[in-house]
Amino acid sequence: MKNRNQNTRWAKWALMLPSLLLVLFSCTNDDELNDNIGQAGPLKLSVSTTELVLDPSMYLNNFTFTWTTGTNQNTGSSISYKLEIDKTENNFSNPIEYDFGTNKYAFDLNVATLNQILLTTFNAQAGTPIALQARITATFADQSVPVQTSTVDLTFTPYQPLTTTLFIVGSATPNGWDIGNSAQLTVSSTNPAEFVYNGQLSNGTFKFAVNQDGCFCQDFYTKDPTDSNKMVYNQNGSGDDLQWNITDAGNYTITVNVLDLTINIQSVGTPPFTQLWMVGDATPSGWNIDTPQPFTVTADPYIFTYEATLTPGNFKILAGATGNWCGQWYRPLVDNQVLTETTVAQNSGCDVDNKWQVTSATAGRYKITLNTLTNVINITPVEVYLIGDATPNGWNMGSFTPMSKSGGVYTWTGNLNAGEFKFTKFNTNWCDGTEIVAASPSQSISNTAFGFNENCSGNDYKWVVTAAQAGTHTITLNLNTNSLTIN
């Protein structure tokens, strides 16, 4: 399991890095990592340094190859370049190759990408030096000019890559010791070694897992026995299983850095508002400031949800007291904001009155989730699926039978087998959303009464299709009126 997790982390780490290559830093080495344009003359390959011990702190650094132009022997021929890197003992029999074409005299390899190449392509071991060779080859459009090459010997020592995912688990967390449903921390947009958790913690303990695998023999970050503001990288569940302790339940912001192994735990106090309301002609509330439709407060008092069918128009979110157009609001950063943007501003007054916009193309039923701690909003289309052995896709998580939608009305026509079924608004993990269940156990399909089961907290009743009832049926679920027909 360890190797598989490392490879997965590597792939994610490499994808994150291009957006972070903002500037070129120097390595912890006497030689600078430079990007000089090659000068005219006989072909010669140069590198930043011939020996380098790589380190995770170099994630913004580049290792640089530069070369001179080579000579076309006064033929006027264009020159093309290819860089190869291979283990020394291979003599370039199985190299990685970079074809640059013409007019290219330098190449940068990000240090983290180079580290990945060493570990995965050349099977190097973290902390152990590996001998490589790099070769630049110049070829000429005028084939009378001989191919030219230049080679450099290199020694690199790779490092153990850092995790790119982190999850909080423990009796103090919302999902306890259920590691499969543990809350994921958010990685910093500027530092891939920094992760942040915003949310509720109750009295109890917690630690951090690198993934959601159910085995508690995976890698964890646990409390340093000598300093509660420091972490220990606990490989394979070995070592002391020390955890941080929460004695005052409440909302917290936790910032951890897996590079310098630091943790900062801050209590963030009480929520700014205890109720939110939806206002706007795109919503069922309309422009009603006195009795608008309320949001639902979740178990986390900072997080509010609202579900409705949105029509073309605009909306904003009222906070504080009703009846005051110039009161407290949550509004987007620009007017007529699209529904996919997640940033939101909390402000008061009437001077800047930005709103979200619903167009004819984006109209439909949505679930809106607003986090008043982080000022992040998610406006997600509501999909409905059939699940159960009476349905074509059975109980297969991730491939439930989808219903067609128009506004808040969902329909499906197809074959029902003898068996059971219910509906769900999610298609990823069990207990990760809202299920629409029968009102009574083993309910006949002639009885269309139903209820809602949030995060597996309610009754798990299902409809039963008998052998005599099996066959083609049309199911229509109207979430606007909370009505169901099965024909």
- Residue 37: pLDDT over 60: no
Which pLDDT does position 28 carry in this prediction?
Answer: 35
Identify the domain boundary among 327, 348, 381: 381
Which pLDDT does position 236 carry in this prediction?
Answer: 72
Which pLDDT does position 1 carry in this prediction?
Answer: 34
- Residue 31: pLDDT over 60: no
**Residue with tokens 């069990």, as numbered in its chain:** 430
We report the CATH number of the domain holding residue 121 as: 2.60.40.10
Give domain status of residue 281, yes or no: yes
pLDDT digits (tens, 9 = 90+) for 297-341: 987 889 999 999 999 999 999 998 899 999 999 999 999 999 999
pTM: 0.58
Q: Which residues of 244-262 are buried (b: 16+ CB within 10 A; e: fewer)?
A: bebeeeebbebbbbbeebb
Give domain status of residue 397, yes or no: yes
Q: What's the length of the chain?
A: 487
pLDDT band at 429 (very low <50, low <70, confident <90, very high): low
Pair 314, 348 in one domain:
yes
Give domain status of residue 342, yes or no: yes
Give domain status of residue 394, yes or no: yes
Pair 350, 256 in one domain:
no
- Residue 438: pLDDT over 70: yes
> Residue range 435-449: average pLDDT?
96
Pair 345, 398 in one domain:
no
- Percent of residues, the chain, with pLDDT higher than 90: 74
> Residue range 30-51: average pLDDT?
68
Please state, rounded to an integer, the average pLDDT across all residues of the chain.
88
Give domain status of residue 239, yes or no: yes
Pair 88, 114 in one domain:
yes
Pair 391, 377 in one domain:
no
Pair 153, 69 in one domain:
yes
CA distance 431 to 199: 19
We report the CATH number of the domain holding residue 178 as: 2.60.40.3620
Q: How many domains does the chain have?
A: 4
Residues in a beta bridge with 204: 246
pLDDT band at 397 (very low <50, low <70, confident <90, very high): confident
Give domain status of residue 162, yes or no: no
Identify the domain boundary among 157, 180, 206: 157
Pair 261, 291 in one domain:
no
Other residues' Cβ atoms within 10 Å of the Cβ of residue 473? 16
Pair 351, 227 in one domain:
no
Pair 97, 18 in one domain:
yes
Pair 417, 374 in one domain:
no
Identify the domain boundary among 267, 286, 301: 267
Instruction: Judge residue 242's burial from the number of C-beta atoms within 10 Å of its C-beta, 0-12 exposed, 13-18 middle, 19 or more buried.
Output: middle
Q: Can you give the residue range of the structural domain that contains 85?
A: 2-157
Comparing 215-219, 267-271, 408-412, the range with the smallest average pLDDT is: 215-219
Give domain status of residue 331, yes or no: yes
Pair 109, 256 in one domain:
no
372: its two tokens: 């008043």
Instruction: Judge residue 123's burial from the number of C-beta atoms within 10 Å of its C-beta, 0-12 exposed, 13-18 middle, 19 or more buried.
Output: exposed
pLDDT band at 283 (very low <50, low <70, confident <90, very high): very high
> Residue range 195-220: average pLDDT?
90
**C-beta contacts of 466-471 below 8 A and 24+ residues apart:** 466/418, 467/418, 469/416, 469/418, 469/445, 470/390, 470/415, 470/416, 470/417, 470/418, 471/415, 471/416
Query: For the chain, what is the HEC assignment?
Result: CHHHHHHHHHHHHHHHHHHHCCCCCCCCCCCCCCCCCCCCECCCEEECCCEEECCHHHCCCEEEEEECCECCCCCCCCEEEEEEEEEHHHCCCCCEEEEEEECCCEEEEEHHHHHHHHHHHCCCCCCCCEEEEEEEEEEECCCCCCCEEEEEEEEEECCCCCCCCCEEECCCCCCCCCHHHCEECEECCCCCCEEEEEEEECCEEEEEECCCCCCCCCCEEEEECCEEEEEEEEHHHCCCCCCEEECCCEEEEEEEECCCCEEEEEECCCCCCCCEEEEECCCCCECCCCCCEECEECCCCCEEEEEEEECCEEEEEEECCCCCCCCEEEECCCCCECCCCCECEEEECCCCCCCEEECCCCCEEEEEEEECCCCEEEEEECCCEEECCCCCCCCCCCCCEECEEECCEEEEEEEECCEEEEEECCCCCCCCCEEEEECCCCEECCCCCEEEEECCCCCCCCEEECCCCCEEEEEEEECCCCEEEEC
Give domain status of residue 415, yes or no: yes
Q: Which residues of 144-157 are buried (b: 16+ CB within 10 A; e: fewer)?
A: ebeebebebebebb
454: its two tokens: 């949030």
Pair 26, 107 in one domain:
yes
